[in-house]
Amino acid sequence: MANRHSSLPSVREQGYELALKLARQQLASISVEELCRKAGAQCMDSNKIMIEHLNRRYLVVLPDGEVSLLDSEGQVPLWDKVLILHYLTSAKGSPATNKLITFKQLPGCASYYAVFYQWAIKPLLDHFGKEPELLIDAAAKLGGHKASYGDISITVDAFPRVPVTVALWRGDDEFAPRGSMMFDSTISHYLPIEDIRNLCASITRRLIKNSG
């Protein structure tokens, strides 16, 4: 039993490695100019792209799809590389509608909400539920700003064309704290559903880390 459990991280890592390989293959078939135009990224030269992700700048080098931090020598986690390349390969360049939707409203996602809640919403409520105002300073470290939903809310630019809004409602004697994550209705034009879930979980982890 112990061996089976210890093998799970390597299986997950193999999945990310495969996803990265496939994304790199797809990336190599798209022109740099088209990628930058659709994703809101910056063309550094004929084979280099600068993309912002949660207030950090990343360099993507084609045709191999290598991803590195532009202003730091730190390592980029495998799942962040996958997320960045999936954004670049999925971006359709659709203009924002300024209509916010939740994860449940994404096509086919209602049945997956329980997993999304456990990954992205519940940890937020556990950490910020009693002191939601701490969310403001935590979001500022991700380049976020205060929004106007719920009792406390913030918006962070996960990618140039993927804003994510986090809203919290304080609990009271009758009701537990509540939370929501909302996106522009075009988000599925920029990321697959699984990546939206992973992105939100990543934002939650970073907000909690930033708040100490």
Q: What is the pLDDT of residue 9?
A: 53
Parent domain of 22: 2-90
Could you tell me if 51 and 22 lie in one domain? yes
| Residue 95 within any structural domain of the chain | no
The domain boundary residue, chosen from 57, 90, 123: 90
How much is the pLDDT for 8?
46
**What pLDDT was estimated at residue 10?**
66
On whether residue 8 sits in a domain, the answer given is yes
pLDDT of residue 5: 45
Q: How many CB atoms lie within 10 A of CB 58?
A: 21
Pick the last residue of a domain from 50, 70, 90. Answer: 90
Give the residue among 55, 83, 57, 86 at the shortest CA–CA distance from 69: 57
Question: Do 168 and 135 contact (CB within 8 A), yes or no?
Answer: yes
Final residue belonging to a domain, choices 30, 64, 90: 90
- At 16-56, the pLDDT tens digits run 899 999 999 998 888 899 999 999 999 998 899 999 999 99
Kindly report the average pLDDT of the chain as a whole number: 92
| 3-state SS string for the chain | CHHHHHCHHHHHHHHHHHHHHHHHHHHCCCCHHHHHHHHCCEEEECCEEEEEECCEEEEEECCCCEEEECCCCCCCCHHHHHHHHHHHHHCCCCCCCCCEEEHHHCCCCHHHHHHHHHHHHHHHHHHHCCCCCHHHHHHHCCCCEECCCCCEEEEEEEECCEEEEEEEECCCCCCCCEEEEEEECCHHHCCCHHHHHHHHHHHHHHHHHHCC
Q: Tokens in use for 21? A: 């390989």
Domain shared by 63 and 114, yes or no: no
pLDDT digits (tens, 9 = 90+) for 111-123: 889 999 999 999 9
Structure tokens at 92: 């359709």
Q: Domains in the chain: how many in total?
A: 2
Q: Residues 171, 200: one domain?
A: yes
Report which residue type is found at 204: T
Residues facing 52 on adjacent strands: 57
Written as tens digits, the pLDDT of the chain (212 aa) is: 444 444 445 677 888 899 999 999 998 888 899 999 999 999 998 899 999 999 999 999 998 999 999 988 889 999 999 999 999 999 999 999 999 999 999 988 888 899 999 999 999 999 999 899 999 999 999 999 999 999 999 999 999 999 999 999 988 778 889 999 999 999 999 999 999 999 999 999 999 999 97
199 and 116 within one domain: yes
